[in-house]
Amino acid sequence: MITTYKAAPDIDVLTSSFPIPGFGLVPINAFVLHGPEPLLVDTGAVIEREEFMTALRSVLDPADLKWIWLTHPDFDHIGALPQLLAENAELRIITTFLGVGIMSLTAPLPMDRVHLLNPGQKIAVGDRTLTAVKPPAFDNPSTTGFHDDKSGALFSSDCFGALLSVVPENAADLSDDELRQGQVLWATVDSPWLHKVDTAPFARELDAIRAIEPTMILSSHLPAASGSITERLLASLAAVPSAQPFVGPDQAALEQMLAQMTAGGPQ
Ligand SMILES: [Fe+2]
Ligand SMILES: [Fe+2]
With a cut of 80, say whether residue 20 has pLDDT above it: yes
Q: What is the pLDDT of residue 266?
A: 56
pLDDT, one tens digit per residue, over 118-128 is: 999 999 999 99
Q: What's the CA-to-centroid distance between 72 and ligand 2, angstroms?
A: 8
The torsion of the CA quartet 154, 163, 206, 147, rounded to 10 degrees, works out to -10
Q: What's the CA-to-centroid distance between 266 and ligand 2, angstroms?
A: 32
Give Rg (Cα) of the chain: 18
Q: What's the CA-to-centroid distance between 89 and ligand 1, angstroms?
A: 27
Q: What's the CA-to-centroid distance between 159 and ligand 1, angstroms?
A: 9
- Contact (CB, 8 A) for 65 and 56: no
Q: What is the pLDDT of residue 263?
A: 85
**Maximum alpha-carbon separation in the chain:** 59
Distance separating alpha carbons of residues 92 and 170, to the nearest angstrom: 30
Q: What is the pLDDT of residue 262?
A: 87
Q: Is 44 helix (H, G, I), strand (E, B) or coil?
A: coil
Instruction: Enumerate residues 6+ apart whose C-beta is below 8 A from 121.
Output: 131, 132
pLDDT, one tens digit per residue, over 71-127 is: 999 999 999 999 999 999 999 999 999 999 999 999 999 999 999 999 999 999 999
Please give the model's pTM, rounded to 2 decimal places: 0.96
Query: What residues flank ion ligand 2 with Cβ within 5 A?
Result: 76, 158, 220
Q: What's the CA-to-centroid distance between 192 and ligand 2, angstroms?
A: 14
- Contact (CB, 8 A) for 212 and 147: yes
Q: What's the CA-to-centroid distance between 217 and ligand 2, angstroms?
A: 15
Q: Is 94 helix (H, G, I), strand (E, B) or coil?
A: strand
Q: What is the pLDDT of residue 191?
A: 98
Other CB atoms within 10 Å distance of the CB of residue 210: 12
Tell me the ligand closest to 77's alpha carbon: 2
What angle, rounded to 10 degrees, do the helices at 199-212 and 230-238 form? 170
Tell me the ligand closest to 41's alpha carbon: 2
Superfamily of domain 2-261: Ribonuclease Z/Hydroxyacylglutathione hydrolase-like (3.60.15.10)
Instruction: Enumerate residues 6+ apart whose C-beta is below 8 A from 173.
Output: 223
Q: What's the CA-to-centroid distance between 86 and ligand 2, angstroms?
A: 23
Q: What's the CA-to-centroid distance between 54 and ligand 2, angstroms?
A: 21
Q: What's the CA-to-centroid distance between 18 and ligand 1, angstroms?
A: 14
Annotated domain spans of the chain: 2-261
Q: What's the CA-to-centroid distance between 265 and ligand 1, angstroms?
A: 35
With a cut of 60, say whether residue 49 has pLDDT above it: yes
Q: 22 falls in which pLDDT band (50, 70, 90)? A: confident
Q: What's the CA-to-centroid distance between 263 and ligand 2, angstroms?
A: 34
Measured at the CA of 184, the angle between CA 140 and CA 118, to 5 degrees, comes to 30
Distance separating alpha carbons of residues 61 and 228, to the nearest angstrom: 33
Tell me the ligand closest to 144's alpha carbon: 1
**Mean pLDDT computed over every residue of the chain:** 97
